[in-house]
Amino acid sequence: MNRQGGSFLSGELSFYLWGLLAAAAFGSSQLLLKVIIHQVEPLQLNHVRLFMGALFLALTPGTLPSLLQLSVEGWLLAATSAIFGPSLSRVLQMYALRYIPVSQSILFTMLTPVFALVLSVLFLGSSPSSGEILGGIIIMLGISIPIFHLIKTQR
């Protein structure tokens, strides 16, 4: 978080604030989406959202020239990331919001670090640290406890 003429916040605090702002923005987008999800087609909405994001990105000063300098490998990696990140994952999230409450849908998105850990072990051959394994277990518990409670109360 910088402003012209100096640093507004420095050090790790700024990283945590950026992370909190990202989480608040994502949570807000899910609530707004839930309001309109039965009035729109998720695939079309995602295409419009991606187009608007690309347009805003292209209009950011200095972005377009740097994008044009990407190698073929860079473009392939970016395209693959786009397919799984903002495309496929968001469309699936939109369909989930049609049928389950926002609170449950958000719980499932918290599995992202667990999937990333498992996939990095399988495809990159990385070895998780004991802290990462413990974190994965805590995430799984944090997600499963509310879901099992919801299942139990709906019976």
Could you state, in order of their start, the residue ranges of all structural domains in the chain? 2-109, 110-155
**Around Cβ 102, how many Cβ atoms within 10 Å?**
16
Average per-residue pLDDT for the chain: 84
Contact 132, 99 (CB under 8 A): no
Contact 77, 6 (CB under 8 A): no
Residue range 84-99: average pLDDT?
88
Q: What is the pTM of this model?
A: 0.66
Residue range 95-124: average pLDDT?
86
